[in-house]
Structure 1
Amino acid sequence: MATVESGEGFTPIGERQEWQGRVVSLSVAEIRAPDGSIYEREIVRHPGAAVIVPVDGEEVIMVRQYRPAVNRELLEIPAGKLDSKDEPPEMTAQRELEEEIGKRAGHLELLAVFHNSPGFCDEITHCYLATDLTDADRRPHGIEEQHMAIERIKLAEVTNLVASGELADAKSIVGLMLAREHLR
């Protein structure tokens, strides 16, 4: 199935930025609908992210970290923002592996590129499978990373963790399911 870059018959007219934060910004877009009507939508602008499924044998190395937006700790695969336009997503993936779990991937394979929440946000995530892991210096950044825990889970247990609610982070569910299928 082919993707369509612009909505058929929908035409962006303009956009104004309402707010700029450290990571995201909020814009209001004005759009002309196929029937000629004009409407507005809020759009969160995000630089994008790289997420990594680090597989070591039958296990995946994950992190448990506090997420203020949901006020709880979540079990997640390593991930990081595409902070620099000069850094390709695969380099971000390698950097985040070192920062978060103290590993480097001998082999890094792109599994998918997907939109996280296209109803309101333009974030695009590049999802990688990392294998042939070797030790590296762990370099956590930020208060959450300094307090995150590293955990290993069996790849075979992913479905049970999702069903139980223990694994509730969408990017991690997508990445783990893709990795599991890819490695079969």
Structure 2
Amino acid sequence: MPEFKRVGETLVHQGYIWHVAVAEFVAPNGTTFTRDIVRSPGAVGIVPLVFDAEGNASTVLVKQYRPPYDAEVIEIPAGMRDIAGEDTAEVARRELIEEAGLIAGNLELLAETYPSPGMTDSVMSIYLATDCTPTATNRQGPEEAYMEILHLPLFEALAMIDSGEICDAKTVTGLLLAERRLRSADAS
């Protein structure tokens, strides 16, 4: 397969967490081109599952205001990898406590995804959290201060994907992977 080569990159904006660069590339045919790239430390999302006495799965989601959309968005608990060197599993544990007030007894990596490969190098690590116990939340920032915690049967959350009430990519991916994991566990 022919190779693309990155030949340079210029920082055009340095933000608190992200920065924007303009990078120059050479295509396999020798043509040069530039692309804007948002450089990101990445993020984590967590699908907490809780089971009732009959074994029915519920999940905990958050509904919070998202300025880019000027709307409230229903999501799995999630957060940026904003502490240098922190392992993604530790970020997941911290964010689950901060946003949902849950301590994960078990944490399992479901997937690492590229949320928007045409514009950022961000990697989203999505975890499944089980054996969760309640604790106090530790919300950060104005959006989290006003977020709502939603406890929903998993089948209801999945139906909200179908109805368009849940549009967030990490949430759609996480819920579908969690449901798939449960089905494969039931089959064995």
Normalising by the smaller structure, the TM-score range is over 0.9
- RMSD over aligned CA atoms reads 1.1
The alignment of Structure 1 onto Structure 2 pairs a total of residues equal to 178
Q: TM-score, normalised by structure 1?
A: 0.94
Q: Structure 1: any 5+ residue segments left out of the alignment?
A: 1-6
Match of 1:33 among 23, 27, 40: 27
Amino acid across the alignment from 1:43: I
How is 1:46-125 mapped onto 2 (pairs within 5 angstroms)? 46-57=40-51, 58-125=57-124
Q: Among all aligned residue pairs of Structure 1 and Structure 2, give the percentage whose two residues are the same amino acid.
A: 43
Give per-residue Cα distances to partners, 1:4-62, cap 9 Å, x unaligned: xxx84100001001011122111001000000011100001111001100001111001
Cα distance in 1 for residues equivalent to 2:2 and 2:157:
38
User: Does the 8 Å CA contact 2:79/2:95 hold for their aligned counterparts?
Assistant: yes
Give per-residue Cα distances to partners, 1:137-184, cap 9 Å, x unaligned: 211011111110000122112342112111011110000000010011
**SS at structure 2 position matched to 1:44:** strand
Cα distance in 2 for residues equivalent to 1:169 and 1:153:
17
Amino acid across the alignment from 2:172: I
CA positional deviation for 1:85? 2.3
Q: Structure 2: any 5+ residue segments left out of the alignment?
A: 52-56, 184-188
Amino acid across the alignment from 2:139: P
Q: TM-score, normalised by structure 2?
A: 0.92
**SS at structure 2 position matched to 1:40:** strand
**SS at structure 2 position matched to 1:98:** helix
